[in-house]
Structure 1
Amino acid sequence: MIRGVLAFALGAVLTVSGPAGAQEDTTYTVLSFDELKGWEFDDHAAALEVFQETCTDMRDPDWLSLCALATNQKNARTFFELFFRPVLIEDGEPALFTGYFEPELNGSREKTDTYRYPLYRKPDDLNGQLYYTRRQIEEDGILDGKGLEIAWVDDPVALFFLHVQGSGRVKFEDGSYLRVGYADKNGHEYKSVGQELVRRGIYNVHQVSAQVISNWVRRHPDAGRELLWHNPSFVFFREVTQVPPERGPLGAMNRSITALRSIAVDPSIVKLGSPVWIEKAGATPMRRLMIAQDTGSAIKGAQRADIFFGTGTRAGITAGKARDPGRMVVLMPIQRAYALIPEGRG
């Protein structure tokens, strides 16, 4: 066994089938840290700080042990290299990195001529059934007068993308903020307005982004409103008071996520809270250690990740442009990585 461990530590690569319960076409390749491109240049201390935000919520004994050890580390890079091993998980699908952000909208607690587009809390009569569509709510005013408004904002297009993101922040004129999170939805299937623009022949697939959609809707107010109603899905919100406005929004682990250090992953493959090394290609390459702290309905697969770019318009523009290939490698506790070695190979 000692020879197997030494070879492992020096960079021997083993590709094996996954543990019980994994899909048959999923493979696990154990790498060395030398094989992570740019590893030595990252800010490992920043990644370790984000890891500590959620590691206490990982209930497995090996993860909790590492979490306890992380609190007294003076050298973050050494911590990761000593107690983890990089594991490349593949399922036959190419890697895809996209981005998401927390929208920030200008708003008011009261309806005015400027702030007249409402964010609604969940209605009492919404109980899992199909509810009113986006068009019925926005055009017909079916919820008017029911006292469901949390706040009003000045931009219906930004509000639409708040629905897509599911959470965001409203900035009031006095400089204060209100953070809102997902509460429920009307039960109608989400339909992509970007795909609809492609179907109509207005744009090609590679041209579509959140910014492109926003610009088109603003240039064509009437047709743009109809385009947004193409998506019948409608989200209801709740006030999020436990997160200070200067911190990031809550992720799937019910903890604040961090810009350019938190990613959304497929939790059926990557354990939430795990460190994940990403090697994103594209116009703005990125090589850094992230922490898997969020999920998303469109984030499925072993090599699929959504990068959290932060809050506000600039973060939204950057996130909307991200659609890049590359590679992601999960850092597993060393004993878990060793457990992937088939019997007779150790």
Structure 2
Amino acid sequence: MRVRPHQAFWLATAEAILARRTGSAQAFVEAHFEPFAIVAEGFLTGYYEPLVAASRVREGPFTTPIYRRPPDLVRVSPASPDLPGDGTFAQRLADGTLAPYPDRVAIMNGALEGMGLELAYVADPVDAFFAQVQGSARLRFPDGAEMRIGYHGKTGHPYTAIGRVMIDRGMLPEGGATMQTIRAALAANPDRVAEILSANRSFVFFRERVSMGEELGPIAAGGVALVPFRSLAVDRSEIALGTPVYVETTLPGHGPFDGVTIAEDTGSAIVGPARGDLFMGTGPVAGAIAGEMKAPARLTVILPRGIA
């Protein structure tokens, strides 16, 4: 509330109430909050923090770079219709003018080489791609040390789902695109990896993030560490960060799920009042759930009385 009051318009108003909390959490919420069902049709996906083998230097199989944010990449406010995508990112040229930033194809062809932006290197370009899709990753080096990386800007070009591209190009059946099937198809067709990845012109940059411990996830847009099955990515133009959201849905392989989450993150594909992306945790087990997660959902926001 004190560090990021701008994230939810009701935080400053509710601070005095929240500071007086006494008794059980349930009694406090029942006394001071009220639920509002979102009547739009809800849809929930999942995301996770990949665990990826990496090297600090380019050696052996580790040849695909994970890039820091370039110094000439700037955020534009207000958005410009002359820029691609949502018009919020651009390249600031030497004369101070703005231009579209080089897209994924240009970066894959060496547009950033020689700038010293490499945070680390991974062996599989598909791992690097999915780290960008998830917005974070935990890199594990040969000596056992780890580095957590998190989103730090993008080129601004529109995001294209490669699963849809692979369906259209005959690599996957209609309705058959999950993270697992995408990975399997690309592993079976290594000669087509560059072609498929290039279809998504958007490219994400990272920075090293402080680890809050093994049990918690990465630091995300809300400025706090994500908690498995309790942190939700939302469209922040519809639901302010910091808002409690009660989620009812079905998890693949696990059946019905319901619980209170907190809106703590955002994503370029998360658009709409009842669209959510549930954080599943770190590593391959969480990834297996997140990769299959596509389900109807009912979302209910929980707001202080008198605020809505």
Alignment TM-score, normalising by the size of structure 2: 0.82
Q: Which moved more, 1:116-125 or 1:257-266?
A: 116-125
Specify the code of the residue in structure 1 equivalent to 2:26.
R
3-state SS in 2 of match to 1:325: strand
- Structure 1 stretches of 4+ with a deviation exceeding 4 A read 51-59
Residue 223 of structure 1 deviates from its aligned partner by: 1.3
* 1:164-203 aligned within 5 A: 164-203=133-172
Quick one: distance in 2 between partners of 1:207 and 1:185? 28
Match among 278, 282, 291 for residue 311 of structure 1? 282
Quick one: distance in 2 between partners of 1:205 and 1:272? 35
- Cα deviations across residues 248-284 of structure 1 (Å, max 9, x unaligned)? 2122221112111010122233232121111103643
* 1:230-309 aligned within 5 A: 230-241=199-210, 243-246=211-214, 247-281=216-250, 283=252, 284-309=255-280
Residue 238 of structure 1 deviates from its aligned partner by: 1.7
Distance 1:294 1:116, change over 3 A: same
Cα pair 2:247 2:260 within 8 Å, conserved: yes
Residue 328 of structure 1 deviates from its aligned partner by: 1.1
Residue 90 of structure 1 deviates from its aligned partner by: 1.9
Higher helix share: 1
Cα pair 2:67 2:206 within 8 Å, conserved: yes
Match among 9, 19, 23 for residue 68 of structure 1? 19
**Structure 1 unaligned spans of 5+:** 1-50, 338-346
Matched, 1:103 2:50: yes
Residue 55 of structure 1 deviates from its aligned partner by: 8.5
* 1:33-72 aligned within 5 A: 60-70=11-21, 72=22
Residue 101 of structure 1 deviates from its aligned partner by: 1.1
Specify the code of the residue in structure 1 equivalent to 2:283.
G
User: In structure 1, what is the equivalent of residue 103 of structure 2?
Assistant: 133
Higher strand share: 2
Match among 150, 153, 156 for residue 122 of structure 2? 153
Q: What do you get for the CA RMSD once the two structures are aligned?
A: 2.6
- Cα deviations across residues 7-34 of structure 1 (Å, max 9, x unaligned)? xxxxxxxxxxxxxxxxxxxxxxxxxxxx
Specify the code of the residue in structure 1 equivalent to 2:112.
L
Distance 1:53 1:258, change over 3 A: farther
Quick one: distance in 2 between partners of 1:295 and 1:202? 30
Q: Which moved more, 1:296-305 or 1:158-167?
A: 296-305
Cα pair 1:52 1:67 within 8 Å, conserved: no
Specify the code of the residue in structure 2 equivalent to 1:261.
R
Residue 54 of structure 1 deviates from its aligned partner by: 8.1
Specify the code of the residue in structure 2 equivalent to 1:65.
A
Cα pair 2:7 2:240 within 8 Å, conserved: no
Cα pair 2:150 2:220 within 8 Å, conserved: no
| Number of residue pairs the alignment of both structures matches | 281
User: In structure 2, what is the equivalent of residue 325 of structure 1?
Assistant: 296
Cα pair 1:131 1:187 within 8 Å, conserved: yes
Quick one: distance in 1 between partners of 2:256 and 2:290? 13
User: In structure 2, what is the equivalent of residue 41 of structure 1?
Assistant: none
User: In structure 1, what is the equivalent of residue 79 of structure 2?
Assistant: none
3-state SS in 2 of match to 1:100: strand
Q: Which has the larger radius of gyration?
A: 1
Q: Which moved more, 1:106-115 or 1:118-127?
A: 118-127
Cα pair 2:136 2:149 within 8 Å, conserved: yes
Alignment TM-score, normalising by the size of structure 1: 0.74
Distance 1:67 1:248, change over 3 A: farther
Quick one: distance in 1 between partners of 2:220 and 2:170? 36
Specify the code of the residue in structure 2 equivalent to 1:131.
Y
Distance 1:109 1:56, change over 3 A: same
